[in-house]
Structure 1
Amino acid sequence: MTVTQAVCRLIGKRDRYTVEHSKNVARLMSAFAKYAELSTEDITLAYIAGAVHDVGKISVPDYILNKPGRLTEEEFAEIKNHPIVGANILAKVPGLEKVAEIVRYHHEWYNGSGYGAGLSGEEIPFISRMLAVCDSFDAMTTIRCYRQQPLSNHKALAEIINCAGTQFDPVISRCFVDFIECCQDYHNRFTFNP
């Protein structure tokens, strides 16, 4: 068993939704990285970061993680810690230092109003900016404990474009929309064998 598989198993023991979400995001990240013609090393990095990006949620209490309604400010503050907790866990694993950095900054916003370190624009690592888009797209297009009706791909892509320049990198957003629109069957057309 690889370290990545072990981390994914750890996530799965805690929350079934998060492990499925992480698998989806890993597939999206690797397919999107291939589409964007990134290097083989960056495609691998994108896949691993997608697979483990929510490992920090193991520190979030179940009643918050699975809450069907709106979170209180205190509960949201707990959720906002998960990128830092996850990065700290991953940074202790030899060879995952780059992945830890990607995870640490995946909830930063392009305009600087996200959470974490308050980074903005190009200060945010490139693959973290990719992860922000892929993570959000999967969250919008799947059932969540707080929302039983997922958005269609079309509506989710419209939301990504609407948030380009504020939440998301505008260039990555446009590329992602092109990727999804031309590769609706990305799960079948792009495969990754870790």
Structure 2
Amino acid sequence: MSELIQISANELKFLVKRSVEGLGFAPGDQLAAGIKAASAFQLGLANSGLLNQALDALNSNMKAPELIASSDQELVFDAHGQSALVQVELALGLGLARCSPQVRVKNVVAAAFAASCVMNWLTQPLSQPLSQQCYALYFTHRSGAQRCVLIAADGQPLGLYQPREQRVEAKMRVLFHSGSCFYYF
């Protein structure tokens, strides 16, 4: 029988922070990764297997997702297999700043960690009125099923649901939806 230990969200946050620090990431990325991990565990979106995947995919040589296409209607980024623990902030920030109808981040590992990133961004004052809405974040859950996290405009989670139709095409993406706006991670 394996031994299990219980740790607090704060302990998990600092364990992940230290792991990311050991890989050479900037202090802001270290703390953000810890916060995302702790939040995803508290919401039931992640487990130790997903966290292991996310930590294994970290590569300190890649600092940001690459913008591969841009138009008035869509921004498309490629994370090149990097973990969502450190890759989603820049794409989401640019999408929210531009009020872009669609933002896609392809090839991101452990996309469920994007939920806490979205919640954190929404707790900040947003200057664009179009950004001040409720959001839906679609992703492939660790079980393999599609999931949807509803997030209030103030960053508070409203619920976790299983959508009727498949919204995310690939396992390594997340769909972020606001009214008529979509964000894919």
TM bracket (short chain): 0.3 to 0.5
- Higher helix residue share: 1
User: Does 1 or 2 have the higher relative contact order (CA < 8 Å, sep 6+)?
Assistant: 1
Using structure 2 for the length normalisation, give the TM-score.
0.39
- Higher strand residue share: 2
